[in-house]
Amino acid sequence: MITVDLSRLTGWDFHQIEKAMAHRLAAAHQILEEGTGAGGETTGWLRWPKECPAGELDKIQQAAAQICRDSQVLVVIGIGGSYLGAKAAIDLLGGNGPEKTQVIFAGNTLSSDEMAALLAQLENKSFSVNVISKSGTTTEPAVAFRFLRQYLEERYGEEADRRIYVTTDPQKGALRALARAQQWTSFSVPGSIGGRYSVLTAVGLLPMAVAGIDINRVLAGAREEMEQLSRRSMENPAWQYAAARNLMYEAGKKVELLAYYEPTFRFMAEWWKQLFGESEGKQGKGLFPASVEYTADLHSMGQYVQDGQRILMETMVSFQNSGTSLSLPYRADDGDGLNYLAGRTLEELRAQAMAGAAIAHEDGGVPNIQIQVPSRNPESYGALVYFFELSCGLSGYLMGVNPFDQPGVEAYKKNMFTLLGKPGYEALQQTLKNRSKSRKKAGKRNILPNVAKVD
Amino acid sequence: MITVDLSRLTGWDFHQIEKAMAHRLAAAHQILEEGTGAGGETTGWLRWPKECPAGELDKIQQAAAQICRDSQVLVVIGIGGSYLGAKAAIDLLGGNGPEKTQVIFAGNTLSSDEMAALLAQLENKSFSVNVISKSGTTTEPAVAFRFLRQYLEERYGEEADRRIYVTTDPQKGALRALARAQQWTSFSVPGSIGGRYSVLTAVGLLPMAVAGIDINRVLAGAREEMEQLSRRSMENPAWQYAAARNLMYEAGKKVELLAYYEPTFRFMAEWWKQLFGESEGKQGKGLFPASVEYTADLHSMGQYVQDGQRILMETMVSFQNSGTSLSLPYRADDGDGLNYLAGRTLEELRAQAMAGAAIAHEDGGVPNIQIQVPSRNPESYGALVYFFELSCGLSGYLMGVNPFDQPGVEAYKKNMFTLLGKPGYEALQQTLKNRSKSRKKAGKRNILPNVAKVD
């Protein structure tokens, strides 16, 4: 379903790419499928489209139907991999129509104004909450859940527990324990599937189903793509993408720009940034993932892409079929000089703008990869998710990292817990206090609010 | 009003920075103010907050009042610098409330589905159009204006011309000529102010005024900041920011991450990306500008920032005062273990998360700059715009580029016009045809739709 075009990968033709990368990809694909590579215990996503139990899907559909019956709003609480994929799907596939239950994402910020706005928005509206967190103790979602749970209890009293849906670890953790104690409806994130690879589980599927997206079609698309991508040869589009970005990385490119042409794709790009950034950005390695929305950003970032530091490669995603067809009106006056385009479709203009940019960027020293997706529909979404996940697993192994862990995420949390005085962080507190003293001695300023106390 | 903290710029203390950069900044500031540097003829933005005619503001206010009286929606057509600043202001300052005239941005995409959705959205709603384009022939806004003008005429007949507001060159160009012929209400972008520096002119002020933002307060903030930043010494926050990013660039950093903590700041970051990317990304130079929304992206891009390629520097923007104060509720069960935070405000949690991230990232090899803004209000917005514009002008001169041109933006347009068969591009058409033949001979695939014909 997904196709890749590497014909604008400056200096490399297909056979050279095959010669350089096919054997490395064969090895990577093998350890990935056998689960013998680093992080092999968390590759459950690899077969999930086929192994996802039918009973699980039924349970998700039933919960979604219940939420749609009794709630105008579903507040989904989650951060990182616990919200990006579902938000991407709903934005891309046009859920959240006026007659449907509206899905709002929370727990992904510590902004006071955002929380106040959310609570104000819920006034006079019936709502339920889906809290998504493997441990149940990640700060942002746990904090948001405290506010929302209190508000649910104010609004619904004893009925509040009936409006809480939990997606968490099948056995362990704070949220699982609470769900048991309070008899909340609960779903599991399989232990073998990490956060950023979890969108095709209940993590993503429950919010999608509530937004009116046919989750059976999403999984069907992922299953079909899974079969397409099982080939172990350079004809495999996931091999092509993983090969190309590693070749460019090894040739010194620093940044991969994901360029898209549909504004509704924005959060799919955010999901992609987490997937690749968190999987490869370790041990001082990894392409820095960034995204641009064309053609808008051709008029803002276009100058840099064309002519800035030559550290970029570019991956353009496009949809083959548009849902609509609009032809440019003719005007007798032709004051804007556009009559040479009158009668031609916006789709054609978009395609030529994209081709024009691809050629210009390659000419300017930015190697270009094209990824083409059939349509903006649930099957294509499922296929694209699986395509990127497999490409990322392969690519990470090519790069020599464990694409399934994220050890670096702990560093800021440790500091934050220390600064907040969390029990258990007393030793680090002393260290930060001493550092703060040295900073003051050295005459360092510090405008961070509330921080002077400890740091 | 805006303050900068450079105390986490690894390896550099304030006096070292001053020693290395003060004389270079003095020279840059002088040629900027005298207009003797490259692009000096387009530095009208430098004194604009003081020189903006009072009559212009009155005319904008009157037009805004008229639009609010007769329109539920204002469609603002513009791309790049013709929309990012106004969208940033409206998102950040909370315009678009339910009782106000809604401002919708268009003409910044060639997506067929987006145009169809926009036209559907306007059904049954009264609306006006503000088309913003210096030349009037930039493809995306010109195309969108054709669709909207036709729809206006269908809906309002002869009254349509009364609902069109034009912001364009004072004398020249297709849109100025049309505005004269049709007697549309029109505003000017001064010739001495380039697109990405134009948000404090009618380009940004008319949409802001319609959204209910007090544009006198915006300009007052910019004026106050203008005075603050007139100092020619390292005490000048714009000198500090320009110095720090150039030092890091010269030390080999490739990417500047703008990190913010308020989700409503997202399009301010997009505006910033155009400002710096388009001003500095030329002659193979420039920090690649990227943005992250914390704390959300600490759970997606955080791993890369902490532990990926060491090519990053980070600039964190925060607001000193939050509009709201919410304390974390206490829960008797403490199932999530958060009672150690009960009673403390979200603002405090946010501040400590930010401090924790700043310390962690500096420790991980990502030098950190802090920019602090007083409040999310019109004055601070105006001040921040002026602060970034002046910093960018100074920084571009330090980097040895003309921060006011964008020659690289033409490359893709030339190709696009050629592929679309625009009259005048016949010679280039032959070149692209020949290239296409060579590609075919070399067996290159091409999945770009509609492109095979020419390329």
pLDDT at A97: 61
pLDDT category at A433 given cuts 50, 70, 90 is confident
**DSSP state at residue A101:** P
SS3 B91: helix
Q: Tell me the two tokens of residue B188.
A: 């000017």
Q: How far is B54 from chain A (nearest CA, A)?
A: 30
Q: Is residue A331 exposed (0-12), middle (13-18) or buried (19+ Cβ within 10 Å)?
A: middle
pLDDT at B96: 58
In this complex, do A328 and B302 lie within 8 Å of one another by their Cβ atoms? no
pLDDT at B454: 39
Q: How far is B283 from chain A (nearest CA, A)?
A: 6
pLDDT at A219: 98
Q: Check if the beta carbon of residue B283 is closer than 8 Å to that of residue B401.
A: yes
Q: Tell me the percentage of chain B whose pLDDT exceeds 70.
A: 97
- CA gap A298, B85 in Å, rounded: 16
Calculate mean pLDDT across residues A220-249: 98
**Residue partners of A453: CB distance under 8 A and separation at least 6:** none
- CA gap A163, A183 in Å, rounded: 11
Q: How many interchain CB pairs under 8 A, A with B?
A: 473
Q: Is residue B400 exposed (0-12), middle (13-18) or buried (19+ Cβ within 10 Å)?
A: exposed
Using an 8 Å CB-CB cutoff, list chain B residues near A116: 323-324, 326
- CA gap A184, B103 in Å, rounded: 42
Helix (H) or strand (E) holding B188: strand B185-188
- Answer yes or no: is pLDDT of B116 > 50: yes
**Residue partners of A196: CB distance under 8 A and separation at least 6:** A80, A81, A84, A274, A275, A278, A279, B300
> Given B146, B442, B450, which is nearest A331 (Cβ)?
B146
Calculate mean pLDDT across residues B138-161: 97
> Given B113, B340, B358, which is nearest A324 (Cβ)?
B113
pLDDT at B439: 85
* Helices (H), ranges, A254-372: 266-280, 302-307, 346-363
pLDDT at A438: 86
Which has the closest alpha carbon to B344: B322, B366, B329, B365? B329
In this complex, do A414 and B264 lie within 8 Å of one another by their Cβ atoms? no
Mutate which of B77, B197, B327, B352 to disrupt the A interface (most A C-beta within 10 Å)? B352
pLDDT at A451: 43
Supply the DSSP string of B413-447, one letter for each residue: HHHHHHHTT-TT-HHHHHHHHHHHHHHHHTT----
- Strand runs labelled E in A133-203: 164-168, 185-188
CA A316 to chain centre: 17
pLDDT at A15: 94
**DSSP state at residue A299:** G
Q: Tell me the percentage of chain A whose pLDDT exceeds 90.
A: 89
| Sign of the C-alpha dihedral computed for residues B162, B164, B170 and B174 taken in this order | negative
pLDDT at B453: 44
* Helices (H), ranges, B187-265: 202-210, 215-228, 237-250
Using an 8 Å CB-CB cutoff, list chain A residues near B14: 443, 445
- pLDDT-wise least confident of A196-210, A263-277, B318-332, B439-453: B439-453
Q: Tell me the two tokens of residue A218.
A: 């999403």
Q: Check if the beta carbon of residue B356 is closer than 8 Å to that of residue A415.
A: yes
- CA gap B142, B174 in Å, rounded: 10
pLDDT at A452: 37
Q: Tell me the percentage of chain A whose pLDDT exceeds 70.
A: 97
- CA gap A179, A125 in Å, rounded: 25
Calculate mean pLDDT across residues B110-119: 95
Using an 8 Å CB-CB cutoff, list chain A residues near B341: 143, 420
- CB atoms closer than 10 angstroms to residue A216: 16
- CB atoms closer than 10 angstroms to residue B252: 8
> Given B296, B406, B408, which is nearest A79 (Cβ)?
B296
Structure-token match 């990490």, residue found: A194
Better-scored residue on pLDDT, B442 or A425: A425
pLDDT at B40: 97
- Answer yes or no: is pLDDT of B197 > 50: yes
Mean pLDDT of chain B: 94
pLDDT at A137: 85
pLDDT at A441: 84
pLDDT category at B112 given cuts 50, 70, 90 is very high
Better-scored residue on pLDDT, B292 or A1: B292
Calculate mean pLDDT across residues A122-136: 94
pLDDT category at A357 given cuts 50, 70, 90 is very high
- CA gap B78, B168 in Å, rounded: 11
pLDDT at A96: 58
CA atoms within 13 A on the CB side of A427: 1
pLDDT digits (tens, 9 = 90+) for B13-67: 999 999 999 999 999 999 999 999 999 999 999 999 999 999 999 999 999 999 9
- CA gap B294, B314 in Å, rounded: 12
Using an 8 Å CB-CB cutoff, list chain B residues near A283: 307
The residues of A carrying an active-site annotation are 278, 299, 413
pLDDT at A321: 85
Using an 8 Å CB-CB cutoff, list chain A residues near B303: 277-278, 281-282, 406-409
> B136 in the Ramachandran plot: left (φ > 0), alpha (ψ -120 to 50) or beta?
left
Q: How far is B370 from chain A (nearest CA, A)?
A: 8
In this complex, do A420 and B349 lie within 8 Å of one another by their Cβ atoms? yes
CA atoms within 13 A on the CB side of B349: 25
In this structure, which amino acid lies at residue B373? Answer: V
Q: Check if the beta carbon of residue A204 is closer than 8 Å to that of residue A90.
A: no
**Structural domains of chain A ordered from first start:** 3-38+220-325+341-399 (3.40.50.10490), 45-216 (3.40.50.10490)
In this complex, do B109 and A421 lie within 8 Å of one another by their Cβ atoms? no
pLDDT digits (tens, 9 = 90+) for B151-173: 999 999 999 999 999 999 999 99
- CA gap A13, A160 in Å, rounded: 61
Query: CA-based angle B324:B98:B187, to the nearest 5?
Result: 100
In this complex, do A283 and B307 lie within 8 Å of one another by their Cβ atoms? yes
Q: How far is A330 from chain B (nearest CA, A)?
A: 8
pLDDT digits (tens, 9 = 90+) for A66-84: 999 999 999 999 999 999 9
Mean pLDDT of chain A: 94
Which has the closest alpha carbon to A92: B336, B77, B111, B250? B111
Q: Check if the beta carbon of residue A319 is closer than 8 Å to that of residue A284.
A: no
In this complex, do B286 and A304 lie within 8 Å of one another by their Cβ atoms? yes
pLDDT at A447: 63
CA atoms within 13 A on the CB side of B96: 17
SS3 A132: strand
- CA gap B151, A186 in Å, rounded: 49
Better-scored residue on pLDDT, B324 or B403: B403
Which residues are paired to B314 by β-bridges? B257, B368
**DSSP state at residue B75:** E
pLDDT at B447: 63
The answer to whether the pTM exceeds 0.90 is yes
pLDDT category at A178 given cuts 50, 70, 90 is very high
> Given B108, B110, B285, which is nearest A308 (Cβ)?
B285
Q: Tell me the two tokens of residue B300.
A: 């997606």
- CB atoms closer than 10 angstroms to residue A413: 19
Calculate mean pLDDT across residues B384-407: 98
- Answer yes or no: is pLDDT of A99 > 90: no
Q: Check if the beta carbon of residue A131 is closer than 8 Å to that of residue A77.
A: yes
- Answer yes or no: is pLDDT of A398 > 50: yes
Q: Check if the beta carbon of residue A132 is closer than 8 Å to that of residue A167.
A: yes
Calculate mean pLDDT across residues A45-59: 96
pLDDT digits (tens, 9 = 90+) for A183-232: 999 999 999 999 999 999 999 999 999 999 999 999 999 999 999 999 99
- Answer yes or no: is pLDDT of A94 > 90: no
pLDDT category at A453 given cuts 50, 70, 90 is very low
